[in-house]
């Protein structure tokens, strides 16, 4: 692969998008976009990666009521939601100003 080529990212499908409600997906797109603008945080330069993240956040909003970061493994998501450590914008994102 040449230096100026980005690695191929799996394309987001309608089946991926169906994992969360359209309302929650719209809400999370709005959230991540506004948060990035206000905080100086950077979204991933490959839109597909950001879209997978948004779908994961939206699914957690639907399932758990809060946007738990979908990039980590949690033994008990319901218990993790009680802590604010991995609720978007998670501590890691706030510290490094970059979302996966």
Domain, as residue range, for 59: 21-96
Q: What is the pLDDT of residues 72-97, one digit of tens each?
A: 899 999 999 998 788 887 777 777 77
In terms of Cα–Cα distance, which of 81, 9, 89 is closest to 52? 9
Domain count, the chain: 1
Domain at 52, CATH number: 3.90.460.10
Q: What is the pLDDT of residues 8-59, one digit of tens each?
A: 778 988 898 899 999 999 999 999 999 888 888 888 888 998 999 999 999 9
Per-residue confidence (pLDDT) for residue 93, from 0 to 100: 75
CA distance between the termini of the chain: 22
Q: Is residue 48 part of a domain?
A: yes
- Maximum pairwise Cα distance, the chain: 45
**Cβ proximity of 92 and 85 under 8 Å:** no
What is the Cα–Cα distance from 10 to 52, expressed in whole angstroms? 10
Q: Is residue 87 part of a domain?
A: yes
Per-residue confidence (pLDDT) for residue 44, from 0 to 100: 85
Q: Is residue 83 part of a domain?
A: yes
The model carries a pTM of 0.83
Per-residue confidence (pLDDT) for residue 1, from 0 to 100: 43
Q: Is residue 47 part of a domain?
A: yes
Is 71 marked active-site? yes
């Amino acid at each position: 692969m040449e230096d100026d080529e980005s690695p191929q990212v799996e394309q987001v499908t309608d089946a991926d998008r169906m994992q969360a409600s359209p309302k929650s997906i719209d809400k999370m797109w709005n959230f991540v976009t506004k948060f990035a603008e206000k905080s100086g945080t950077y979204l991933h330069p490959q839109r597909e990666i950001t879209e997978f993240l948004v779908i994961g956040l939206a699914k957690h909003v639907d399932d758990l009521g809060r946007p738990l970061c979908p990039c980590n493994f949690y033994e008990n998501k319901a218990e993790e939601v009680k802590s604010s450590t991995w609720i978007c914008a998670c501590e890691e994102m706030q510290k490094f100003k970059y979302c996966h």
